[in-house]
Amino acid sequence: MSGALCEASPSLALLKYWGKRDAVRNIPATTSVAVGLAELRTVTHVRLLPAKEGADRVLLNGTQQPPARYERFFEALRRTLRTEQRFEAESTNNFPTAAGLASSSSGFAALALASCRAVGADPPLRDLSSLARVGSASAARAVFGGFTILRAGAPAARQLYDESHWPELRVIVCVVEERAKKTASRRAMEASRLTSPYYRAWVRASARAVPNVLRALAARDLQQLGDAARESYLRMFATIVSTHPPIQYWLPSSVEILRECEAMRDEGIGVWETMDAGPQVKLLCVEDDVEEVRRRVETLGATSRTLVCSVGGTPRLSSEER
């Protein structure tokens, strides 16, 4: 066997991971609860390199990636697989990369799954989640489909429900900026931990929110879940803007969409927003409201495109014989 292909979807947090308990092992300080976004896809092709090749290589959307970003991941991969094998990966996203759409979650999930399959290994999903976490903690969630949880301090995520739990749920991704962001989430969250006077309060408040989010998800109560998701991202941003020096991810067009979302809620339309480390806004609603919500957002002229996503399933994996 000489290669494998994996297609995975990014994991959008409703309750946010922001901050690390252990930066070396990449262990999160807050519990996150997330949903996979079916229509956004990362496709990763992994090939085994001949023994004489000394270094792993990753190509993302046609651009060679800095090896340092992948070093710990590949070391953990070789430890897990008990091999000296080097890998070459080629990855493409059908959505903007490093722009606050969780591309590192689907990227490292697909890389972990395809690399293991390429050597013919089939570790349990728990181990794959733990391996993907070394690359990016949100990727620990993305190795599963449906709804997932990654507990504060935990090495691996687990699935709460598969995609059939809430088939009517939709996430409208409002892309307001196609370009990559200036400050990577990894750097920003470490800056928050080290310098924001609100960081400890964020971690404490986030822990208190967990039972409520789990109840809302179990009951498929969009109002309760939407309110909790808003509270989580806004509190996360309170620690981001209060870092020293401050980091500002929002754009005027992000705020325009937040305001429109508020106006729609006031009119009785069930729509709630969340944001990640970037200017894009994601709107939670049910299938029946998609058309109206999308029309209202597009009328603002604040987006370059809107992408409607349903709940994503398990990553797809295939082997290649050559």
User: What does the binding site for ligand DP6 look like in residue numbers (CB under 6 A)?
Assistant: 13, 16-18, 26, 32, 102, 104-105, 136-138, 185-186, 276-277
Contact of 206 with 311, CB cutoff 8 Å: no
Q: Least distance to ligand DP6 from the beta carbon of 138, Å?
A: 3
Q: Which is nearer to ligand DP6, 99 or 261 (CB)?
A: 99
Backbone angles phi, psi at 117, to 5 degrees: -65, -35
Q: Which is nearer to ligand DP6, 104 or 253 (CB)?
A: 104
Q: Which is nearer to ligand DP6, 108 or 294 (CB)?
A: 108
| CA pair distance 172, 285, nearest whole angstrom | 8
3-state helix, strand, coil in the chain (%, to 5): 40, 25, 35
Q: Which is nearer to ligand DP6, 204 or 295 (CB)?
A: 204
| Structure tokens given for 63 | 């651009």
Contact of 273 with 283, CB cutoff 8 Å: yes
Q: Least distance to ligand DP6 from the beta carbon of 3, Å?
A: 25
β-sheet bridge partners, residue 286? 169
Q: Least distance to ligand DP6 from the beta carbon of 21, Å?
A: 12
Q: Least distance to ligand DP6 from the beta carbon of 194, Å?
A: 14
Backbone angles phi, psi at 108, to 5 degrees: -75, -30
Q: Least distance to ligand DP6 from the beta carbon of 298, Å?
A: 25
| Structure tokens given for 67 | 């090896």
Residue-level length of the chain: 322
